[in-house]
Each structure stands twice: as structure tokens, then as C-alpha cells.
A = this chain, B = another copy of it.
Amino acid sequence: MKGVDYQMIILKLGGSVITRKESAFPIINSKNLDRICREISEAKPVKMVIIHGAGSFGHPYAKKYEIGQEIKNQEDFQKKKLGYSLTHNSVKELNIRVCQYLLNYGVPAIALPPSSFILTRNKRIESADLSMIENYLEMGWVPVLHGDVVLDMDENIKMAVLSGDQLVKHLAEKLHPGRIILGSDVDGIYNRDPKTDPQAQLLPLVKSLEDLESLQGARTVDVTGGMTGKLRELLELAKMGIESKIINADQPGLLKKSLNGEKVKGTIISQ
């Protein structure tokens, strides 16, 4: 087994941080994106993979065309096929913006769209050739992946939505990064839904879903499973001994501190 690469960081940027996620059509959160890319550049990462969510650039299309749901007939397949392409083209638009903001601050970002090299089977990654990610990493580029649509080997669905969170899990498992940071729009995982329950408390450490009193943590309807989906992926990693941390990337300065290895508010997902 490959040893841990302590220099490497996998950074997830939530779709809710860089887009107006609740919007029915694609809107970028330019202010956040600009600040976040500045913080990344100031942290001078040596070896980093960035994975961003699709937010309002992906979810409205994926939902409308029911990507990942059973294909009813040939007509439905043709419709979903167009919907798949529309979803990807829209997410790519967001990806261009993310890369452009990173480049503005001198971070050599290079896009690696999952639809080009990943296949799922029943919505879980089945094959993914990571050699290009490794090539770019070794030469000092910052590969940028994103939540995307991908071809699925299950004949009933043929295509699937691949969440940024599943990507985090898969890449962490294969590339053994020293640290995994997830920039969210909340401080971390709460025992109850902080948006509706004033008694909700931030959990500094989560080891299993049982640590939560309720699973209302996901505020918005999210085709990729929201906070619960995220947590399930990270708990899988924790089981393998790979720790990750959710922090609030909406709060200026926190991401930079976290990238620099400082201890900041958030939730650690660990064994």
C-alpha cells in the first residue's frame, strides 16, 4: 500500500459556497469565489487537488432530467442524454470560472472533468484512471475536479450524478493525502439542524451517524445527498483511518488558516 503523502491536500469547495445553491438557475457567488481563491494562493499549497461542487450550475438540470433515475424507454433515454450533456456543459461553465479565479491569483489550475475519465456502477465509482491527476500533481499543477454527470454501467440508469463528496472519498482512498479539508457554508456538523433549532450544537468530532441527534443538517434539497451524503462518504474514509475536516469557507480567513495547518473551528470526521 502507498504511504501517506503528507504534502498533499485534497480541498473540497462546496457548491453552496461558490454558487447561489438555492437558485433555480446558475448563479455564481463571485465574492466568495474570489476571496477563496485568494486564500488558497496565499496558503501557497505545494500539492493540492481541488474538487468543487456543482451547486446551482448542476442540480437544477440533473433534477429536471432525472439523471440517475431509471430509464423508462427510448424516448426517455434520448431526453436524459440531452439532459446529461446540458448538465455537464453548465457545470463546465462553473469550472471555467473557478479555474479563472485561481489563475488570477497565480494558482496553475487545470480542469479534469470526471465525465471524461470516470465510470460508475449503480452510482458508485467503478473505474477511474487517476494517472493524469498524478502527472499534473507531480509537475506542480493543481488539478480541479468537480461534481459532474458520468456514464453508469448499470443498464437501467446508464448515467449518474457523481457528487464532489464521492470524488473526495475516492481520491483520498487512492492518493492518500496528508489532509482533507471540506469548505462548507456552515461551521461543521451539528447535533441538530442549526437553521431551525437554536439549541443545536457544533460537534468538534464525529465518529458515526449516531453522534447526530437528527439528520436535518442538510438545508436544501440536494441531488447528491446534502450534508448526510457528505457525512456518509467521510465516515467511510474515517473507517479506513483517513481523517477529514469540515470548516466554514464562508467565513473569511478560515480556509487559509486551515490550509496552513492552524487549528480552526469545524468538525473532524475520524475513527
Write the A191-232 contact mask toward B (1 if CB under 8 angstroms, else 0).
000000000000000000000000000000000000000000
> Which of B84, B100, B135, B151 contacts A151, CB < 8 Å?
B135
Write the A97-122 contact mask toward B (1 if CB under 8 angstroms, else 0).
00110010010111111011101000
Contacts of A85 in B (CB 8 A): 99, 103, 108-110, 141
Name which of A44-52, A86-94, A254-262 contacts chain B.
A86-94
A81 located at the interface, meaning its Cβ lies under 8 Å from any Cβ of chain B in the complex: yes
Chain A, interface residues (CB within 8 Å), range: 35 or more
A24 located at the interface, meaning its Cβ lies under 8 Å from any Cβ of chain B in the complex: no
**How many copies of the shown chain assemble into the complex?**
2
Contacts of A245 in B (CB 8 A): none
A139 located at the interface, meaning its Cβ lies under 8 Å from any Cβ of chain B in the complex: yes
Contacts of A95 in B (CB 8 A): 92
Q: Considering the chains assembled together, what is the distance between the CA atoms of A81 and B85 in angstroms?
A: 30
Write the A112-152 contact mask toward B (1 if CB under 8 angstroms, else 0).
11011101000000000100100110011100000000010
Least CB distance from A22 to B in Å reads 24
B117-A117 in contact (CB<8A): yes
Least CB distance from A161 to B in Å reads 15
Name A152-177 residues within 8 Å CB distance of B.
Answer: 158
B129-A151 in contact (CB<8A): no
Contacts of A151 in B (CB 8 A): 132, 135-136, 139
Known: A92-B111, A117-B132, A136-B151. 15 other contacts (CB 8 A): A81-B140, A82-B103, A84-B110, A85-B108, A88-B110, A88-B111, A89-B109, A92-B92, A96-B96, A110-B115, A111-B116, A113-B116, A117-B117, A135-B151, A139-B151
Query: Could you write out 14 A-B pairs with CB less than 8 Å apart?
Result: A81-B108, A81-B141, A82-B103, A84-B108, A84-B110, A85-B109, A89-B109, A89-B111, A111-B115, A112-B116, A113-B116, A129-B129, A132-B151, A139-B158
